[in-house]
Homo-oligomer: A and B are copies of this chain.
Amino acid sequence: MYQISSMEKLINELTKLPTIGPKTAQRLAFYLFKLSKSEALKLAEAIIEMKEKITYCKKCFNISEGDKCFICNDEKRSDLSICVVAECQDVIAMEKIGTFRGRYHVLHGVISPIDGIGPAELKIKELITRIKECGTKEVILATNYDIKGDATALYLAREVKPLGIKLTRLSYGLPMGADIEYADKTTLLKALEGRREF
């Protein structure tokens, strides 16, 4: 359509990104074109640098620029409490709380038979080895509250409980600012089941 192959190629690459449709891709491509060369190349260089430098932490499988991530390297934190998450982005979300002083373990996915992902495809074996080696006292399951997250949590429970370790899962209920009138019935049911003494 553009008859300018380098522009078509860029728009095509941008369209492959999640949340970017053809119209946004065109807008971004023209924005990059109008930027100064050095400004536009900063993005290209940032992609190259990220791909070259970032790898996975050998202990918790979070992203890292070295063998161990900044959390595993932090001696003020300990493996006594390990929070198990599905993806690296979940670590960022949990870290925003700012009070958790344990460490993480990233599974890199959730159990999903329909996508051909079973326990063997996740970092579960590594979690079990780590728990045994580090004398972990509590494992906090922080998987999403959906079918795949539930299946993963159930599987992990079966693996971790026999080790005699305290196993908890994030609580479910009404989110902050929620309006009971408009809450869906499953959330309300979970909030009722999980009610706590006032």
Which of A50-58, A123-131, A162-170 lies at the binding interface? A50-58
**Copies of this chain, count:** 2
Q: Are A41 and B50 in contact (CB under 8 A)?
A: no
Q: Are B44 and A3 in contact (CB under 8 A)?
A: no
* Secondary structure call for the A interface: helix
Across-interface contacts of A29 in B (CB, < 8 A): 50
18 sampled A-B residue pairs with Cβ under 8 A: A2-B92, A4-B65, A6-B52, A6-B54, A9-B46, A10-B50, A13-B46, A17-B31, A18-B27, A18-B28, A19-B24, A32-B47, A33-B63, A37-B51, A40-B47, A40-B51, A41-B51, A44-B47
Residues of A near any B CB (own CB < 8 A):
1-7, 9-10, 12-14, 16-20, 24, 26-33, 37, 40-54, 63-65, 69-70, 87-89, 92, 95-96
